[in-house]
Amino acid sequence: MYQFEPSRVLFEERALEYPLGARLWERFQDEQREIRLIPSHNRVTGLPGISDAEKFREAKKTLVVGIRRTKELASCRPSADYQLVLSTSCPGMCEYCYLHTTLGRRPVVRLYVNIDEILAEAARVIKNRRPQFTAFEGAATSDPLPLEPYSGALSQAIEFFAEQEFGRFRFVTKFTEVEPLLSLKHNNHTEIRFSINNEEIIRKYEHHTPRLKERLQAAAKVAAAGYPFGFLIAPLFFTPDWQKSYTELFTSISAYLPRNAAPTFELITHRFTSRGKANINAVFPASDLPLDAEGRRFKFGQFGYGKYLYAKEEMDLAKEFFGELIPRCFPEGKLLYFV
Protein backbone atom coordinates (compact mmCIF):
# COMPACT_ATOMS: atom_id res chain seq x y z
CA MET A 1 0.00 0.00 0.00
CA TYR A 2 1.54 3.30 -1.09
CA GLN A 3 0.43 6.55 0.50
CA PHE A 4 1.99 9.90 -0.39
CA GLU A 5 2.83 11.62 2.89
CA PRO A 6 4.24 15.08 2.13
CA SER A 7 6.72 16.55 4.60
CA ARG A 8 5.27 20.00 4.08
CA VAL A 9 2.11 21.41 2.54
CA LEU A 10 2.05 24.91 1.08
CA PHE A 11 -1.29 26.56 0.37
CA GLU A 12 -1.78 29.27 -2.16
CA GLU A 13 -3.81 31.78 -0.13
CA ARG A 14 -6.78 31.91 -2.49
CA ALA A 15 -7.01 28.11 -2.64
CA LEU A 16 -8.62 28.27 0.80
CA GLU A 17 -11.65 29.96 -0.80
CA TYR A 18 -12.46 26.66 -2.53
CA PRO A 19 -14.14 23.87 -0.52
CA LEU A 20 -11.37 21.39 -1.36
CA GLY A 21 -8.66 23.88 -0.32
CA ALA A 22 -10.45 24.58 2.97
CA ARG A 23 -10.91 20.85 3.62
CA LEU A 24 -7.23 20.12 2.99
CA TRP A 25 -6.20 23.01 5.23
CA GLU A 26 -8.22 21.46 8.05
CA ARG A 27 -6.97 17.98 7.30
CA PHE A 28 -3.31 18.87 7.40
CA GLN A 29 -3.69 21.00 10.55
CA ASP A 30 -4.28 17.75 12.40
CA GLU A 31 -1.07 16.19 11.28
CA GLN A 32 2.52 16.71 12.19
CA ARG A 33 4.13 18.54 9.30
CA GLU A 34 5.05 22.01 8.14
CA ILE A 35 2.13 23.90 6.68
CA ARG A 36 2.15 27.48 5.46
CA LEU A 37 0.52 29.98 3.14
CA ILE A 38 2.20 31.23 -0.04
CA PRO A 39 1.01 34.02 -2.35
CA SER A 40 1.10 31.92 -5.55
CA HIS A 41 1.53 28.23 -6.30
CA ASN A 42 4.17 29.21 -8.84
CA ARG A 43 6.32 30.95 -6.25
CA VAL A 44 7.68 28.25 -3.98
CA THR A 45 10.78 29.30 -2.09
CA GLY A 46 12.60 28.32 1.07
CA LEU A 47 12.73 24.58 0.52
CA PRO A 48 15.52 22.86 2.45
CA GLY A 49 18.54 21.22 0.86
CA ILE A 50 21.96 22.30 -0.37
CA SER A 51 22.80 20.18 -3.38
CA ASP A 52 20.53 19.86 -6.41
CA ALA A 53 19.89 16.24 -5.44
CA GLU A 54 18.75 17.23 -1.92
CA LYS A 55 16.58 20.06 -3.18
CA PHE A 56 14.99 17.72 -5.72
CA ARG A 57 14.16 15.18 -3.02
CA GLU A 58 12.65 17.88 -0.80
CA ALA A 59 10.59 19.23 -3.71
CA LYS A 60 9.16 15.74 -4.22
CA LYS A 61 8.09 15.73 -0.56
CA THR A 62 6.38 19.10 -0.90
CA LEU A 63 2.69 19.33 -1.68
CA VAL A 64 1.42 22.64 -3.01
CA VAL A 65 -2.32 23.26 -2.99
CA GLY A 66 -3.15 25.81 -5.64
CA ILE A 67 -5.52 27.11 -8.27
CA ARG A 68 -5.05 26.20 -11.92
CA ARG A 69 -5.47 29.47 -13.78
CA THR A 70 -4.44 28.55 -17.31
CA LYS A 71 -7.72 28.25 -19.13
CA GLU A 72 -6.49 27.18 -22.53
CA LEU A 73 -6.00 23.42 -22.76
CA ALA A 74 -2.71 22.37 -24.38
CA SER A 75 -2.63 19.70 -27.03
CA CYS A 76 -1.41 16.24 -26.08
CA ARG A 77 -0.40 14.18 -29.08
CA PRO A 78 -0.14 11.26 -29.54
CA SER A 79 -2.03 10.16 -26.43
CA ALA A 80 -5.08 12.47 -26.63
CA ASP A 81 -6.42 15.68 -28.10
CA TYR A 82 -5.88 17.81 -25.00
CA GLN A 83 -4.19 17.77 -21.64
CA LEU A 84 -6.48 17.83 -18.62
CA VAL A 85 -4.24 19.17 -15.90
CA LEU A 86 -5.51 18.14 -12.47
CA SER A 87 -2.07 18.02 -10.83
CA THR A 88 1.60 18.59 -11.57
CA SER A 89 4.61 16.38 -10.78
CA CYS A 90 4.35 13.32 -8.54
CA PRO A 91 6.06 11.81 -5.51
CA GLY A 92 7.83 9.17 -7.64
CA MET A 93 11.52 9.61 -8.43
CA CYS A 94 12.07 8.05 -11.83
CA GLU A 95 15.45 8.94 -13.26
CA TYR A 96 14.01 9.18 -16.76
CA CYS A 97 10.84 11.01 -15.80
CA TYR A 98 9.32 12.77 -18.81
CA LEU A 99 8.88 15.84 -16.61
CA HIS A 100 12.59 16.55 -16.09
CA THR A 101 12.59 18.79 -19.15
CA THR A 102 9.51 20.81 -18.31
CA LEU A 103 9.48 20.94 -14.49
CA GLY A 104 13.21 21.40 -13.90
CA ARG A 105 15.10 20.60 -10.70
CA ARG A 106 12.44 21.53 -8.08
CA PRO A 107 9.34 19.63 -9.20
CA VAL A 108 7.11 20.30 -6.20
CA VAL A 109 3.91 18.26 -6.28
CA ARG A 110 0.88 20.43 -7.02
CA LEU A 111 -2.77 19.66 -6.81
CA TYR A 112 -5.44 22.07 -7.97
CA VAL A 113 -8.56 22.81 -6.01
CA ASN A 114 -10.65 24.32 -8.82
CA ILE A 115 -11.54 20.97 -10.39
CA ASP A 116 -15.05 22.16 -11.30
CA GLU A 117 -13.58 25.02 -13.36
CA ILE A 118 -11.07 22.72 -15.10
CA LEU A 119 -13.85 20.29 -16.02
CA ALA A 120 -16.09 23.15 -17.15
CA GLU A 121 -13.40 24.13 -19.64
CA ALA A 122 -13.24 20.52 -20.87
CA ALA A 123 -17.04 20.57 -21.28
CA ARG A 124 -16.79 23.75 -23.35
CA VAL A 125 -14.17 22.20 -25.65
CA ILE A 126 -16.23 19.00 -26.04
CA LYS A 127 -19.30 21.04 -26.92
CA ASN A 128 -17.44 23.08 -29.54
CA ARG A 129 -16.02 20.00 -31.24
CA ARG A 130 -19.04 17.69 -31.23
CA PRO A 131 -20.01 15.47 -33.03
CA GLN A 132 -16.29 14.74 -33.06
CA PHE A 133 -15.03 12.84 -30.00
CA THR A 134 -12.50 14.70 -27.85
CA ALA A 135 -10.02 12.78 -25.71
CA PHE A 136 -8.31 14.28 -22.66
CA GLU A 137 -5.11 13.03 -21.06
CA GLY A 138 -5.01 13.32 -17.27
CA ALA A 139 -1.34 12.43 -16.86
CA ALA A 140 0.38 14.89 -19.18
CA THR A 141 1.95 16.82 -16.32
CA SER A 142 1.85 14.36 -13.44
CA ASP A 143 1.07 10.90 -12.23
CA PRO A 144 -2.30 11.82 -10.73
CA LEU A 145 -3.08 8.63 -8.78
CA PRO A 146 -0.92 9.25 -5.64
CA LEU A 147 -2.84 12.51 -5.10
CA GLU A 148 -6.27 10.92 -5.32
CA PRO A 149 -6.66 10.39 -1.54
CA TYR A 150 -6.22 14.16 -1.09
CA SER A 151 -8.01 15.63 -4.10
CA GLY A 152 -10.49 13.06 -5.40
CA ALA A 153 -9.84 14.70 -8.77
CA LEU A 154 -9.69 11.48 -10.77
CA SER A 155 -12.95 10.23 -9.30
CA GLN A 156 -14.60 13.53 -10.12
CA ALA A 157 -13.21 13.49 -13.67
CA ILE A 158 -14.25 9.87 -14.26
CA GLU A 159 -17.81 10.60 -13.17
CA PHE A 160 -17.85 13.80 -15.22
CA PHE A 161 -16.71 12.00 -18.38
CA ALA A 162 -19.18 9.17 -17.79
CA GLU A 163 -21.86 11.74 -18.65
CA GLN A 164 -20.07 13.13 -21.73
CA GLU A 165 -21.40 11.65 -24.94
CA PHE A 166 -18.51 13.06 -26.97
CA GLY A 167 -15.78 13.31 -24.33
CA ARG A 168 -13.30 10.65 -23.29
CA PHE A 169 -10.76 10.59 -20.49
CA ARG A 170 -7.58 8.61 -20.11
CA PHE A 171 -4.72 8.70 -17.68
CA VAL A 172 -1.66 6.63 -17.01
CA THR A 173 -0.03 5.72 -13.73
CA LYS A 174 2.81 3.78 -12.18
CA PHE A 175 0.91 3.62 -8.89
CA THR A 176 -1.56 1.03 -7.73
CA GLU A 177 -4.12 2.39 -5.25
CA VAL A 178 -7.02 2.02 -7.65
CA GLU A 179 -9.65 0.79 -5.15
CA PRO A 180 -11.51 4.14 -4.82
CA LEU A 181 -12.01 4.14 -8.60
CA LEU A 182 -13.32 0.62 -9.02
CA SER A 183 -16.95 1.20 -8.06
CA LEU A 184 -17.38 4.51 -9.92
CA LYS A 185 -19.78 4.87 -12.80
CA HIS A 186 -17.45 5.26 -15.80
CA ASN A 187 -19.61 4.21 -18.76
CA ASN A 188 -16.46 2.96 -20.51
CA HIS A 189 -15.51 6.61 -21.11
CA THR A 190 -12.29 6.48 -19.07
CA GLU A 191 -9.27 4.41 -20.00
CA ILE A 192 -6.79 3.62 -17.23
CA ARG A 193 -3.30 2.66 -18.38
CA PHE A 194 -0.36 1.43 -16.37
CA SER A 195 3.13 2.56 -17.14
CA ILE A 196 5.40 -0.46 -16.96
CA ASN A 197 8.80 -1.69 -17.97
CA ASN A 198 10.79 -4.80 -17.39
CA GLU A 199 11.70 -5.60 -13.76
CA GLU A 200 15.35 -4.73 -14.10
CA ILE A 201 14.68 -1.28 -15.50
CA ILE A 202 12.03 -0.53 -12.88
CA ARG A 203 14.38 -1.60 -10.10
CA LYS A 204 17.23 0.49 -11.45
CA TYR A 205 15.53 3.71 -12.46
CA GLU A 206 12.04 4.03 -10.98
CA HIS A 207 12.50 4.95 -7.32
CA HIS A 208 9.57 5.32 -4.91
CA THR A 209 7.15 3.54 -7.22
CA PRO A 210 5.36 0.17 -6.92
CA ARG A 211 7.00 -2.86 -8.53
CA LEU A 212 5.85 -4.48 -11.76
CA LYS A 213 3.85 -7.22 -10.06
CA GLU A 214 1.80 -4.70 -8.08
CA ARG A 215 1.07 -2.66 -11.20
CA LEU A 216 -0.11 -5.75 -13.05
CA GLN A 217 -2.35 -6.68 -10.11
CA ALA A 218 -3.83 -3.17 -10.22
CA ALA A 219 -4.36 -3.49 -13.98
CA ALA A 220 -6.23 -6.75 -13.43
CA LYS A 221 -8.48 -4.95 -10.92
CA VAL A 222 -9.43 -2.11 -13.27
CA ALA A 223 -10.00 -4.64 -16.06
CA ALA A 224 -12.32 -6.61 -13.78
CA ALA A 225 -14.16 -3.36 -12.98
CA GLY A 226 -14.91 -3.03 -16.68
CA TYR A 227 -12.68 -0.07 -17.43
CA PRO A 228 -11.03 0.13 -20.82
CA PHE A 229 -7.39 -0.29 -19.88
CA GLY A 230 -3.93 -0.59 -21.30
CA PHE A 231 -0.19 -0.35 -20.85
CA LEU A 232 2.29 2.33 -21.61
CA ILE A 233 5.69 0.75 -21.99
CA ALA A 234 8.16 3.56 -21.69
CA PRO A 235 10.90 4.18 -22.14
CA LEU A 236 11.87 1.22 -24.26
CA PHE A 237 15.60 0.64 -23.93
CA PHE A 238 17.44 -1.29 -26.59
CA THR A 239 19.77 -3.12 -24.23
CA PRO A 240 21.74 -6.04 -25.71
CA ASP A 241 18.97 -8.50 -24.71
CA TRP A 242 15.96 -6.23 -25.21
CA GLN A 243 13.98 -8.73 -27.26
CA LYS A 244 14.28 -11.36 -24.54
CA SER A 245 13.51 -8.99 -21.68
CA TYR A 246 10.45 -7.46 -23.36
CA THR A 247 9.16 -10.91 -24.34
CA GLU A 248 9.42 -11.82 -20.64
CA LEU A 249 7.54 -8.65 -19.78
CA PHE A 250 4.67 -9.64 -22.05
CA THR A 251 4.64 -13.12 -20.52
CA SER A 252 4.28 -11.45 -17.11
CA ILE A 253 1.42 -9.24 -18.32
CA SER A 254 -0.37 -12.27 -19.77
CA ALA A 255 -0.13 -14.09 -16.45
CA TYR A 256 -2.34 -11.47 -14.79
CA LEU A 257 -5.01 -11.12 -17.46
CA PRO A 258 -7.47 -13.42 -19.21
CA ARG A 259 -6.55 -14.47 -22.74
CA ASN A 260 -9.44 -12.47 -24.18
CA ALA A 261 -8.37 -9.25 -22.43
CA ALA A 262 -8.19 -6.28 -24.77
CA PRO A 263 -5.56 -3.89 -23.44
CA THR A 264 -4.21 -1.05 -25.53
CA PHE A 265 -0.47 -0.56 -25.83
CA GLU A 266 1.49 2.64 -26.22
CA LEU A 267 5.19 2.22 -26.79
CA ILE A 268 7.67 5.03 -26.41
CA THR A 269 11.35 4.51 -27.10
CA HIS A 270 13.88 6.21 -24.87
CA ARG A 271 14.66 9.79 -25.78
CA PHE A 272 16.08 12.78 -23.99
CA THR A 273 16.49 16.52 -24.39
CA SER A 274 19.62 18.53 -23.56
CA ARG A 275 17.75 20.28 -20.77
CA GLY A 276 16.42 17.00 -19.40
CA LYS A 277 19.89 15.48 -19.48
CA ALA A 278 21.38 18.43 -17.56
CA ASN A 279 18.65 18.17 -14.94
CA ILE A 280 19.03 14.39 -14.60
CA ASN A 281 22.79 14.71 -14.16
CA ALA A 282 22.26 17.38 -11.49
CA VAL A 283 19.62 15.56 -9.43
CA PHE A 284 20.80 11.97 -9.99
CA PRO A 285 24.59 12.43 -10.16
CA ALA A 286 25.22 8.67 -9.95
CA SER A 287 22.74 7.77 -12.71
CA ASP A 288 23.93 5.43 -15.44
CA LEU A 289 21.06 6.25 -17.78
CA PRO A 290 22.22 6.14 -21.39
CA LEU A 291 22.32 9.87 -22.19
CA ASP A 292 25.05 9.98 -24.78
CA ALA A 293 24.03 11.86 -27.93
CA GLU A 294 26.42 9.76 -29.96
CA GLY A 295 24.52 7.13 -31.93
CA ARG A 296 21.26 9.00 -31.41
CA ARG A 297 19.18 10.88 -33.95
CA PHE A 298 18.20 14.51 -33.25
CA LYS A 299 14.65 15.62 -33.91
CA PHE A 300 12.54 18.68 -33.05
CA GLY A 301 9.50 17.85 -30.93
CA GLN A 302 6.00 19.36 -30.74
CA PHE A 303 6.87 21.62 -27.80
CA GLY A 304 9.68 23.39 -29.58
CA TYR A 305 12.71 21.62 -28.16
CA GLY A 306 14.80 18.96 -29.81
CA LYS A 307 15.28 15.44 -28.53
CA TYR A 308 17.71 12.61 -29.06
CA LEU A 309 16.07 9.42 -30.32
CA TYR A 310 17.39 5.98 -31.18
CA ALA A 311 18.50 5.45 -34.78
CA LYS A 312 15.72 4.85 -37.28
CA GLU A 313 16.88 1.30 -38.09
CA GLU A 314 16.70 0.30 -34.40
CA MET A 315 13.24 1.81 -34.06
CA ASP A 316 11.97 0.13 -37.22
CA LEU A 317 13.20 -3.23 -35.96
CA ALA A 318 11.53 -2.74 -32.58
CA LYS A 319 8.28 -1.58 -34.16
CA GLU A 320 8.13 -4.75 -36.19
CA PHE A 321 9.03 -6.86 -33.15
CA PHE A 322 6.27 -5.43 -30.96
CA GLY A 323 3.84 -5.45 -33.88
CA GLU A 324 4.16 -9.25 -33.86
CA LEU A 325 4.48 -9.76 -30.10
CA ILE A 326 1.31 -7.91 -29.08
CA PRO A 327 -1.21 -9.92 -31.19
CA ARG A 328 0.55 -13.14 -30.23
CA CYS A 329 0.05 -12.43 -26.51
CA PHE A 330 -3.21 -10.47 -26.76
CA PRO A 331 -5.24 -11.28 -29.88
CA GLU A 332 -7.78 -8.65 -28.78
CA GLY A 333 -5.14 -6.11 -27.80
CA LYS A 334 -4.31 -3.03 -29.82
CA LEU A 335 -1.12 -1.10 -30.45
CA LEU A 336 -2.13 2.57 -30.40
CA TYR A 337 1.24 4.00 -31.31
CA PHE A 338 4.94 3.34 -31.33
CA VAL A 339 7.22 6.34 -31.23
Q: Which residues make up the interface to ligand SF4 (CB under 6 A)? A: 90, 92-94, 97-99, 142-143, 174, 209
Q: How far is CA 219 from CA 67, 189, 191, 334, in A?
A: 31, 17, 11, 16
Name which of 101 and 209 has its Cβ closer to ligand SF4.
Answer: 209
Minimum gap (Å) between residue 328 Cβ and ligand SF4? 28
Nearest to 119 by CA among 2, 20, 219: 20
Least CB distance to ligand SF4 at residue 227 (A): 20
In the complex, minimum distance from the CB of residue 209 to ligand SF4, in angstroms, rounded to a whole number: 5
Question: Closest CB to ligand SF4 among 122 and 140?
Answer: 140
- Give the Cα separation of 76 and 128 in Å (integer): 18
Q: Which is nearer to ligand SF4, 18 or 265 (CB)?
A: 265
CB 89, min distance to ligand SF4, A: 7
| Nearer CB in complex with ligand SF4: 103/257 | 103
CB of residue 11 to ligand SF4, shortest distance in Å: 22
Beta strand spans in the chain (E): 8-12, 34-38, 62-66, 75-76, 80-83, 87-88, 93-94, 109-112, 134-137, 167-173, 190-196, 206-207, 229-236, 264-269, 297-300, 306-309, 334-338
Q: Which is nearer to ligand SF4, 181 or 325 (CB)?
A: 181
Report yes or no: 190 and 168 within 8 Å, Cβ to Cβ.
yes
Distance CA 47, CA 58 (A): 7
CB of 131 to ligand SF4, least distance (A): 34
Report the residue number, 101 or 134, with the smaller CB distance to ligand SF4: 101
Mode of pairing for the β-strands spanning 87-88 and 62-66:
unpaired
